[in-house]
Homo-oligomer: A and B are copies of this chain.
């Protein structure tokens, strides 16, 4: 075992040992720790900002873009936001201990499903240091311990933040190991973490497509895949154009860099002649570049011709692919072929088409007459989210506290044996 491996395993071991205690800690004890963590962040905001300055300096030397530098940057106000995020988690109901169902068998056995923590959660993520605090808070509230591995760009900030919150949690009575941060920035450290089946119960990667795919391909620990969204809005033959326009503008422009933003617009051929010129003009006004199919170009002369690659691309930018389709079947086929099963929307006033779209589209969230931007834990009413799952196992769509738990069966008997 080399030095990196030993360092990662030591942290994972501590987290596993702490998980045994966290699993049945009372809600009050967890909330006390979360509150103490929030206070410690604010009290040490100077030290955090100073550590962050080292990351910013390294980032500037490395030539990170202004947008990335801004995402990385922490000041007193942003540290307070992180602390307030923890206080929000305090207010969320504790999912642990809920008896989801319980029933009696003919032999008198009572079989119940009780909600319990997953155990040890590994988080591998990029960039923003606020993810560190968010993830630690949510994992802890759901009774899990967490082994965090953030991007190298934020390593000084993350080390400072995790030292502060881990110490505060411990001072508030939590076991050592409840929050662990892997400070080794070598690629190997992440790869060791991905294969620690003995210590980790689940791995949640958060970041770009490259990171997610590396984790999916490398990990032997069970993974919850998050975040890639090639989302579509389909404007049906029976759409109300006055409703379609704000939905499309919202889905594309409100925050183009996130996974639930629309990347391709599909328009029914009967709606295209009247609707396309109007929506294209509205989008152009907001700086959106359009890449259209040949039929689209007939109605939007200034658009660029879309390539096969464009239908597959999550632009995460003010770029939109537009395709005219013959009918709802062609729209469903296009989504089946190019979609990433994240968020898909239809705009229609037709009952049967709404029903078909809801039933036949295979995605985490399927919308009728609303923007795809709502796929979010906060918007769905979960209070917070740790990511958006795009896989089908365990959790699908926005993951809140409940998705950070599992169940176990509890069985009450009076001496029953199996016949």
Contacts and interface: CB of A to CB of B under 8 A. Distances in A.
A410 B355 CA distance: 10
Given A406-B393, A408-B365, A371 B202 contact: no
Contact of A408 (B217, B370, B396): B396
A86 to B, nearest CB: 24
Interface string A402-419: 000011111111111110
A204 to B, nearest CB: 11
A150 interface: no
The interface size bin for chain A is: 35 or more
Given A415-B246, A418-B374, A393 B362 contact: no
A417 to B, nearest CB: 4
Interface stretch (A4-12, A123-131, A220-228, A297-305): A220-228
Contacts of A416: 369-371, 374
A291 B140 CA distance: 41
A379 interface: yes
Interface in A97-121: 103, 105, 109, 111, 116, 118-119
A20 interface: yes
A417 B336 contact: no
Contacts of A396: 406-409
Contacts of A251: 417
A84 interface: no
A197 interface: yes
A350 interface: no
A371 B249 CA distance: 61
Nearest to A358: B410
Contact of A393 (B220, B370, B375, B394): B394
A119 B414 CA distance: 41
A413 B366 contact: no
Contacts of A392: 118-119, 201-202, 222, 406
Nearest to A380: B111
A380 B411 CA distance: 10
A309 interface: no
Interface of A: 20, 23-24, 103, 105, 109, 111, 116, 118-119, 197, 201-202, 216-217, 220, 222-224, 240, 243, 246-247, 249-251, 254, 336, 358-360, 362-371, 373-375, 379-381, 391-394, 396-397, 406-418
25 contacts: A20-B362, A24-B360, A103-B381, A105-B379, A202-B393, A222-B223, A222-B391, A243-B414, A251-B417, A358-B410, A362-B408, A364-B409, A365-B408, A366-B409, A367-B413, A368-B413, A369-B413, A370-B411, A370-B416, A370-B417, A373-B417, A393-B393, A393-B394, A396-B406, A396-B407
Given A358-B410, A371-B418, 10 more contacts: A105-B379, A201-B391, A201-B393, A202-B393, A250-B417, A366-B408, A368-B411, A370-B417, A373-B417, A392-B406
